[in-house]
Amino acid sequence: MMVCVELPSGLAVLARTERRVDVVVEGVVTVRSVLDALERRLPVLRGTIREHGSLKRRPFLRFFVCGQDWSHRSVDEPLPPAVAAGREVFMVVGAIAGG
Amino acid sequence: MSKVRVLVGTKKGAFVLAADGERKKWSVDGPFFAGWEIYHMKGSPVNPERIYASQTSAWFGQMVQRSDDGGKSWDAVGNEFAYEGVAGTHQWYDGTPHPWEFKRVWHLEPSLTEAETVFAGIEDAALFKSTDGGGTWAEVAGLRKHGSGPAWQPGAGGMCLHTIILDPVNAGRMYVAISAAGSFRTDDGGQTWRPINRGLVSEFMPDPHAEVGHCVHHIAMHPSRPDRLFMQKHWDVMRSDDAGETWHEVSGNLPTDFGFVIDVHAHEPETIYVVPIKSDQEHFPLDGKLQVFRSRGGGHDWEALTNGLPQENCYVNVLRDAMAVDSLDECGVYFGTTGGQVFVSPDGGDHWQAIVENLPAVLSVEVQTIP
């Protein structure tokens, strides 16, 4: 499946890419498999969205899909079919935390 | 003609300032890594074109950047810092146990002899080493596990290992300093460590003379006198003449002995510099006057250096890694402020000028002297 991921601008600059990145996801399209695919395509992002080791979402980042917050759902829950079909974007959003 | 390159880490990016040996006309490149906190940058003594930068963000975590062309271009290298084994706990601010958690890299110290070796001091305090130019990192675990680790506690800025000094004569000897734990030394290349804090007195602790718990802000050494160390502690300027075995206070006539930075003249091992800060609550210079103090006798007797520095309405801080010296014939002294100024004195402190005045808050300053 080809899934479109939208990155925060800071990570797009870091990865030297556009903010929207297409990634090839193997198997069921979930938060985990999308991020695995993203990190395979752009290894520099390892540790920036998920912590190394634990693979926990970094606390100042959230995931939005189809207008819904998926930050606190299971990373193995299938994402809506529209994401897998490429009609909706998997968004990685930085918290508005000042600074 | 020799030139100098000043590596400036700020709250919102990195800057590279360069000048010839006269140090009058400066070029300013940057910001690199705009929007990210650059805690520290440092060049390799073996290959001055090799520079490392610690790039960190509350949102995106830690990156380590490496340049092999003197800071013109950069590539991200390894950013995984995994504590060896079970991380365990240290003390939290209230004295309760708190798990060790990696937060950021405070200081990068390239090897004096091996081009691909670099050390990293991190928060929560630990020492890491890379032998592949920052690609992969392994903890030098003997430090954190020598025994006193569970008693370490964070200072106001976090529990950070912020100072790494490599002995230029004794290859196995290394010093580190941690807030708020103290200073530590290894003599066997990092296998075993012990606290070296005898003589430090910290009134905020239940036992002011305790073996660990001291908030050491920075340590400096002159390479020709590797057993002589100078320390700016939370309060007190200290000196050791026996590789840290014992310390004694040399604050002397300083108007306040609180501060963060300390450094040593490149050619005069007894000439040292500090920037006194009013107090632990008021992190700015006394009376709004930015003053560097110099002692030509290794402490006790200090003179204020003010020529060219703001002498009214100046309420900036100078953070612990934000002072450095070059090694040109006439030693240049540099420091950066939380107000975004970077000052240089091309004559050992007698006269100062601002290289830049409006950068983001400066976190660190390092200088490379390039033949």
Asked, for residue A78, whether it belongs to a domain, the answer is yes
Mean pLDDT of B80-96: 94
With residue B29 as reference, give the H or E element that holds it: strand B27-32
Report the residue from B58, B63, B81 with minimal CB separation from A14: B63
In Å, the largest CA–CA distance within chain A is: 39
Are residues A52 and B59, on separate chains, in Cβ contact within 8 Å? no
Residue B240 one-letter amino acid: S
3-state secondary structure at position A12: helix
Above 60 in pLDDT, residue A98?
Answer: no
Mean pLDDT of B227-237: 97
Number of domains in chain A: 1
B107: nearest Cα among B201, B177, B47: B177
Span B193-206, pLDDT tens digits:
999 999 999 998 88
A30 interfaces chain B, CB cutoff of 8 Å = no
Span B320-357, pLDDT tens digits:
999 999 999 999 999 999 999 999 999 999 999 999 99
Q: Quick check: B92 and B158 in contact, CB under 8 A? A: no
Are residues B76 and A8, on separate chains, in Cβ contact within 8 Å? no
User: How many other β-carbons are positioned within 10 Å of the β-carbon of residue B217?
Assistant: 28
Mean residue pLDDT across chain B: 97
Chain A closest CA to B59's CA: distance in Å? 5
Asked, for residue A35, whether it belongs to a domain, the answer is yes
User: How many other β-carbons are positioned within 10 Å of the β-carbon of residue B300?
Assistant: 14
Mean pLDDT of B23-35: 97
Best of B11, B36, B57 to substitute, by most chain A Cβ atoms within 10 angstroms, is B57
Distances (CA, A) of A53 to A56, B64, B318: 8, 18, 36
Structure confidence at residue B156 (pLDDT): 86
Structure confidence at residue B20 (pLDDT): 96
Asked, for residue A39, whether it belongs to a domain, the answer is yes
With residue B141 as reference, give the H or E element that holds it: helix B141-144
Which CATH number does the domain housing residue A53 bear? 3.10.20.30
Structure confidence at residue B290 (pLDDT): 98
Report the residue from A10, A13, A52 with minimal CB separation from B59: A10
B271: nearest Cα among B247, B240, B295: B295
When pLDDT is cut at 50, 70 and 90, the band that residue A96 belongs to is: confident
Residue B42 sits at φ, ψ, to 5 deg, of -155, 145
Structure confidence at residue A97 (pLDDT): 59
For residue B340, what are its two tokens? 């975004």
ipTM of the complex: 0.94
Provide the residue range defining the domain that includes A44.
Answer: 2-94
B74 interfaces chain A, CB cutoff of 8 Å = no
Do the strands B126-130 and B118-123 form a parallel or antiparallel pair, or are they unpaired? Answer: antiparallel
Above 80 in pLDDT, residue B250?
Answer: yes
Q: Quick check: B367 and B332 in contact, CB under 8 A? A: yes
Mean pLDDT of B7-32: 97
User: How many other β-carbons are positioned within 10 Å of the β-carbon of residue B72?
Assistant: 12
Above 90 in pLDDT, residue B182?
Answer: yes
A–B interface: beta-carbon pairs under 8 A: 44
Distances (CA, A) of B140 to A59, B104, B193, B218, B283: 28, 16, 10, 20, 33
Structure confidence at residue B300 (pLDDT): 98
With residue A34 as reference, give the H or E element that holds it: helix A31-41
- Using left for φ > 0, alpha for ψ between -120 and 50, and beta otherwise, residue A16 falls in left
Percent of chain B's residues with pLDDT above 70: 100
Asked, for residue A99, whether it belongs to a domain, the answer is no
Count the alpha carbons within 13 Å of B253 in the hemisphere toward its beta carbon. 8
Q: What angle do CA B284, B216, B270 make, to 5 degrees?
A: 85
Asked, for residue A70, whether it belongs to a domain, the answer is yes
Span B122-181, pLDDT tens digits:
999 999 999 999 999 999 999 999 999 999 999 888 999 999 999 999 999 999 999 999
What is the C-alpha to C-alpha distance for residues B87 and B109, in angstroms, rounded to an integer? 23
Span A12-64, pLDDT tens digits:
999 999 999 999 999 999 999 999 999 999 999 999 999 999 999 999 999 99
What is the C-alpha to C-alpha distance for residues A78 and B112, in angstroms, rounded to an integer? 52
Mean pLDDT of B75-98: 95
Above 60 in pLDDT, residue A99?
Answer: no
Residue A56 one-letter amino acid: K
Above 90 in pLDDT, residue B1?
Answer: no
B273 class by beta-carbon count within 10 Å (0-12 exposed, 13-18 middle, 19+ buried): buried
